[in-house]
């Protein structure tokens, strides 16, 4: 239920004010054409009636709000009684207000204002009843429209929160697998009494986890920050594989300020390590690149066998573990960009290439500098 003050601030009242004002303007024109008074005089004289009419409308709407949750017979009966009472009070005030003006202020009006016949009472009452009903209908329609807008806004908010929760779940699915591999590697190094390498990997893991935990997993971040996280991750893998792994990072300066989903590259790099380095005996090269092409940002992760057997193309494509990493990336891109972003994977003779295309969006700082 809305208090009367809230109704006064309702934007739906503006049409109601127009209705009452337009109604008294029509009366002004009508009485002018009948020769009763000069044009504009009736409108000025009707200002108290106009104020009362709007006030009665607010009271009727307040009554309707109070009876909204009552049984229908109480709701409609109570509103109907209030409507008839407001019509009767306003009609008789109109008739006797002009009669008083005729006696006390404008004697020329006595020839028509003093004649309060049943026909005149019926006509005035019918006009006010119609005005009240129209005003209430507009208030009701405005309330329904406002409720629909609020429901639509809530639905939009719920949809956004659902997408955020879904994307967060997809993002967090990637960490357990990586942590298992890293801890298993550290355990192996300790078992082999390679303590210095184990300590290095622990330090690298701490740096990676710090970068992961201190950032919002759902926020877009500049590509430069994403690359810092990837380099922390690759530091762990470099400690694990040693000289078997060569790492290349080639990112154009213009792409550094581009905004990307947080941790969007990590599963691609993890796939490249798992299927392109760990799956073979020889050396391998992992290359991460980014370039701005028109209105698109193109991110690529390429793993190639330098010596030894080529990586397994099927495994590099993410078919192991049902391709959870690649599937999550595609879902995150769909949530954030719809059809404007894509992930393509393809096998080459000596390795595998994964390419992400997404809209080029610069950070606010970079836009301001531009």
Q: Which contacts (CB < 8 Å, 24+ apart) does range 112-115 have?
A: 112/36
Q: With CA atoms as reference, report the closest residue to 354 among 282, 274, 298, 300.
A: 300
Sequence-ordered list of residues with C-beta below 8 angstroms from that of 330, at least 6 positions apart, any chain: 343
Q: Which residue has the higher pLDDT, 114 or 276?
A: 114
Distance of CA 315 to the CA centre of its chain: 39
Tokens coding 252: 């154009």
Question: Residues of the chain with pLDDT > 70: what percent?
Answer: 78
Sequence-ordered list of residues with C-beta below 8 angstroms from that of 352, at least 6 positions apart, any chain: 272, 275, 276, 302, 303, 311, 313, 316, 317, 345, 346
3-state secondary structure of 317: coil
* Residue 365 clears pLDDT 60, i.e. is over it: no
On whether the CB atoms of residues 325 and 307 are closer than 8 A, the answer is no
On whether the CB atoms of residues 303 and 352 are closer than 8 A, the answer is yes
| d(C-alpha 223, C-alpha 300), whole Å | 13
* Residue 353 clears pLDDT 80, i.e. is over it: yes
Structure pTM? 0.50
Mean pLDDT of 37-61: 86
Q: Which contacts (CB < 8 Å, 24+ apart) does range 326-331 have?
A: 326/267, 326/268, 326/271, 326/354, 328/170, 328/171, 328/173, 328/174, 328/267, 329/264, 329/267, 329/268, 329/356, 331/166, 331/167, 331/170
Q: What is the pLDDT of residues 202-213, one digit of tens each?
A: 887 887 777 666
Sequence-ordered list of residues with C-beta below 8 angstroms from that of 133, at least 6 positions apart, any chain: 83
Q: What is the pLDDT of residues 145-195, one digit of tens each?
A: 666 666 666 766 666 566 555 555 555 555 566 677 778 878 887 888 877
Count of alpha carbons within 13 angstroms of residue 135, beta-carbon side:
31
Residue position matching structure tokens 């690649």:
326
Biggest alpha carbon–alpha carbon distance for the chain: 118
Q: With CA atoms as reference, report the closest residue to 279 among 246, 252, 305, 240.
A: 305
Q: Which fold has domain 173-369?
A: Heat Shock Protein 90 (3.30.565)
Q: Which residue has the higher pLDDT, 167 or 128?
A: 128
Would you give the DSSP letter of residue 310?
P
246, β-bridge pairs: 285
Pinpoint the alpha helices (H) of the chain: 4-8, 13-33, 41-45, 47-66, 72-104, 110-113, 118-172, 174-191, 195-213, 223-241, 266-272, 313-316, 324-337, 364-369
Q: What is the pLDDT of residues 293-343, one digit of tens each?
A: 889 999 999 988 776 555 554 444 444 444 667 888 888 888 888 899 999
Count other Cβ atoms within 10 Å, centred on residue 29.
Answer: 14
Within the chain, all domains assigned CATH 3.30.565.10 are found at 173-369
* pLDDT grade for 230, boundaries at 50, 70 and 90: confident
On whether the CB atoms of residues 215 and 261 are closer than 8 A, the answer is no
97, β-bridge pairs: none
Q: Which residue has the higher pLDDT, 16 or 106?
A: 106
Sequence-ordered list of residues with C-beta below 8 angstroms from that of 202, at least 6 positions apart, any chain: 186
| d(C-alpha 106, C-alpha 365), whole Å | 72
Sequence-ordered list of residues with C-beta below 8 angstroms from that of 68, at least 6 positions apart, any chain: 1, 75
């Amino acid at each position: 239920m809305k208090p009367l003050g809230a109704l006064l601030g309702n934007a739906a009242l503006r049409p109601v004010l127009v209705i009452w004002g337009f109604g008294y303007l029509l009366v002004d024109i009508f009485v002018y054409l009948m020769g009763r008074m000069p044009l504009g005089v009736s409108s000025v004289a009707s200002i108290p009636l106009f104020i009362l009419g709007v006030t009665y409308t607010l009271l009727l709407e307040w009554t309707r709000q109070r009876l909204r949750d009552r049984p229908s017979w109480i709701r409609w009966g109570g509103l109907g009684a209030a409507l008839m009472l407001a019509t009767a009070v306003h009609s008789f005030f109109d008739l006797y207000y002009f009669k008083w003006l005729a006696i006390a202020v404008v004697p020329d009006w006595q020839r028509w204002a003093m004649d309060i016949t049943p026909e005149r009472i019926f006509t005035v009452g019918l006009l006010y009843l119609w005005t009240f009903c129209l005003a209430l209908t507009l208030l009701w329609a405005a309330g329904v429209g406002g409720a629909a807008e609020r429901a639509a806004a809530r639905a939009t908010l719920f949809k956004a929160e659902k997408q955020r929760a879904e994307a967060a779940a997809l993002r967090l699915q990637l960490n357990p697998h990586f942590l298992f591999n890293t801890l298993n590697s550290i355990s192996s190094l300790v078992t082999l009494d390679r303590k210095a390498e184990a300590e290095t990997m622990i330090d690298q893991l701490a740096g990676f986890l710090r970068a992961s935990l201190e950032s919002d997993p759902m926020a877009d971040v500049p590509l430069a920050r994403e690359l810092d996280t990837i380099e922390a991750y690759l530091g762990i893998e470099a400690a694990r594989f040693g000289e078997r792994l060569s790492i290349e990072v080639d990112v154009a300066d213009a792409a550094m300020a581009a905004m990307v989903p947080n941790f969007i590259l990590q599963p691609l790099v993890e796939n490249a390590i798992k299927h392109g380095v760990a799956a073979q005996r020889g050396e391998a090269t992992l290359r991460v690149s980014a370039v701005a092409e028109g209105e698109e940002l193109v991110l690529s992760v390429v793993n190639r066998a330098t010596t030894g057997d080529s990586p397994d193309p099927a495994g590099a494509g993410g078919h192991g573990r049902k391709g959870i990493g690649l599937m999550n990336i595609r879902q995150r891109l769909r949530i954030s960009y719809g059809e404007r972003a894509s992930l393509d994977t393809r096998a080459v003779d000596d390795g595998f290439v994964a390419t992400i295309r997404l809209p080029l969006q610069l950070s606010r700082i970079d836009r301001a500098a531009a």
